[in-house]
Structure formats: C-alpha cells, structure tokens
Amino acid sequence: MSHQITIQPSGHKLIAEDGETILAAASREGFMLPYGCRNGACGSCKGKVTSGEIDYGEFQSSALTDADIAAGKALFCVACATSDISIECREVGAAKDIQIKTLPCRVHKMEKLGHDVMGLSLKLPANERMQFLAGQYIDILLKNGNRRSFSLANAPHDDALLQLHIRHVPGGEYTEHVFNTMKEKDILRIEGPLGGFFLREDNEKPIIFIAGGTGFAPIKAMIEHALHHHANREMVLYWGARELRDLYMPHLASKWQQENPNVTFIPVLSAPSTNDAWPGRTGLVVDAVLQDFPDLSGYQVYACGAPAMVEAAQNGCLQQGLPEAEFFADAFLYQSNNTTN
C-alpha cells in the first residue's frame, strides 16, 4: 500500500511505496533531501514527522536518541511511512546546501576505459555516503599536502561507488602514479563534493552539452541523472576528441541516443587518423555547435574540458544569443603540480 508524503515548508508532495524509505521515495520522485550514510548511522537525514505514522527502521541510538524520537524526529534514510505523513526538513537546492566532507576511501576497482583513460571506482566506509549534485567533483588529498581534483562520473542515485575518469598526463606526478603504481585496495583521502558545475533542474530549456576529452565525466553524470528522473528536456551532447580512440565510452553515449528520443549524440574529431575512416563531423567541437545552433537564446549550455575550449564555447555561445546566466562550465587544468582532471 502506498502513502502520500508532504514535505514542509515547501509543500511538495510525493508517493512512497510500501516498505520504501522516505529518502528513497523522495529521491525517486526528484526531491533531494539531505543524507549522509544511508543506513541510520550518521544522523544527516534527521527530520521531523509532524503528522502520520512511521516505521523507524533500524538505526544507531547515537544517530537518533530517545529524546529525538520524543520530539517527533526520525532518520529519513531508514524510516518508512505506514500512513500518509507530513515531514519537516530542508531540501537540497544548490551546492551550498550539501555538507563537504573529508573521508577515507578504498580503490575498489581500476579499469582502463581507453588508451589513456583510467576509470577508478572508490568505495567509502560502510557507514558513509557522499551526497552530491550531478556534475560536481572531489579532491584527492595527497600526503605532501597537494590535492588533485576529479569530476564524479556517476549520477547521485548511483552512489555506492564514486567513479572517476582519469586521463594519463605524461610526466604528471599523480597520473603517472595512477597508471603505473596504484593498486586496487589502496587507501585514499578525499574531500567533497565541490564545485558549482552541476545540472540545474529548475529549468525546462533544452540543453547543449559540450565535452572535451574527460570533460565527458561530469556530463555523463548529468545526463544519467536527468534520464533517471525521466526528464523530457532536449539534450544534445557534442563530444570533441582528437582521434577516434580518444572517445573512450562512445557506445554509452550512442545507447542514450538510441533509447531516448530527447537525447542526441554528436562526436567531433579534430584530427582523425587515416585508420579511423571517420565518416562523422571533424574540426573543433565548439565550431560544430555554433554551426548547428545559430540562435542559442532559448538554450542552456554546459561545457567541460580544456580551458581554451571552455573559453571558446563561452565566447561563441554568447555571441549567438545565449543568455550569460545560462552558460555553465568547468575547465580542466592539466599540470604536474595542481591537476584538475
């Protein structure tokens, strides 16, 4: 039997299926509530039940005390509605609403995604989760005090592991370590989530995504998040690379296009090799966008990649009518001392 949940003070209403936690139901219907561990251990999701009945679920007494329960509070990551209920809690609407954490994690899996891209899957401690917005990044904290920034390639609903796409930069201290000496089960320290590059969901404008190289990672998270929540907005992904082999996950992007009528994937190669026998678009990825969309006044644009590409995208899109407030970007710096992706 399903039950209606009303979130105050927003007044948002949603339906929870029988046995579905309040947090899971809200996430499924597109409402983001604060959370941390997702298993009743940390208290980040604590809120007040103002009417109706709930099953409190299993939790640690340090996270929800007897005094909390007496005050009408519950942990929404484990509590389930057993009648129609009303709850009081803040909803996450922007990056400023999410707690930034410093956490240990373990390298759970290493997978070569392409000739120069490593996919890392990081596992947090059993009692921890990192809440983030689609498109944000984390910092890996190094023992010498430096840090390296990498975008999260997974969508928020798929957060059991944190996924990174790391491009090998010849001579880059950290990426040389990743490709040559890092091993599964290694322990890292991370800080996040960070950054203002995330999908704006309070808008129905069609979206143009412009990715260069591993700039695909956060855009992957954004598109998967939008598809998970059944967004009907038109989404056009332009992914620029030098040669065909540099498009390290083209089958995934093609699958999005095949399965979703509102998604279009346009790969663009700047210098395809003879062996590529490339039949598609060539040149600079930003030029392809500007050729296809002479009037961008009704769009949002998300660009991620090298600084020169991001700057060209911003200048070109604004010249073709894109409102300045509708351009969102993250520029990756490839340096030996302070590498961003």
Task: Name the maximum alpha-carbon separation found in the chain.
Answer: 72
Q: Tell me: the pLDDT tens digits for 172-202?
A: 889 999 999 999 999 999 999 998 889 998 8
With 70 as the cut, is the pLDDT of residue 341 above it? no
pLDDT of res. 297: 98
C-alpha dihedral sign at 187, 188, 191, 192: negative
Of 171 and 235, the one with more pLDDT = 235
pLDDT of res. 115: 95
Nearest C-alpha neighbor of 137 from the set 107, 100, 167: 100
Provide the percentage of residues in the chain whose pLDDT is more than 70: 97
Instruction: Give the Cα separation of 208 and 332 in Å (integer).
Output: 19
The helices-and-strands tally (H runs, E runs) of the chain is 7, 19
Pick one of 3.30.230.10, 2.40.30.10, 2.30.30.90, 1.25.40.20 as the CATH number of 98-194: 2.40.30.10
Say which residues have a Cβ less than 8 Å from residue 26's Cβ, sequence separation at least 6: 5, 7, 14, 32, 33, 76
User: Which residue reads 């699958």 in tokens?
Assistant: 255
Parse the chain into domains and list their residue ranges: 3-91, 98-194, 207-331
Instruction: Give the Cα separation of 33 and 101 in Å (integer).
Output: 17
Of 38 and 152, the one with more pLDDT = 152
Average pLDDT of 51-79?
94
Q: Tell me: the pLDDT tens digits for 282-338?
A: 999 999 999 999 999 999 999 999 989 999 999 999 999 999 989 999 988 654 333
Nearest C-alpha neighbor of 124 from the set 174, 161, 80: 161
Helix, strand, coil percent values for the chain (each to nearest 5): 25, 30, 45
With 90 as the cut, is the pLDDT of residue 25 above it? yes
**Residue 10 vs residues 6, 13, 91, 194, 265: alpha-carbon distances, Å:** 9, 9, 8, 26, 36
With 80 as the cut, is the pLDDT of residue 39 above it? yes
Q: How confident is the model at residue 154 (pLDDT cuts 50, 70, 90)?
A: very high
In whole numbers, what is the pLDDT of the chain averaged over residues? 92
With 60 as the cut, is the pLDDT of residue 8 above it? yes
Of 214 and 44, the one with more pLDDT = 214
pLDDT of res. 244: 96
The CATH number assigned to the domain with range 207-331 reads: 3.40.50.80
Amino acid at 210: I
Say which residues have a Cβ less than 8 Å from residue 70's Cβ, sequence separation at least 6: none
The CATH number assigned to the domain with range 3-91 reads: 3.10.20.30
- State the pairing for strand pair 3-8/85-88: parallel
Q: Where are the beta strands (DSSP E) in 52-133?
A: 54-55, 73-75, 80-81, 85-88, 101-114, 117-123
Provide the percentage of residues in the chain whose pLDDT is more than 90: 78
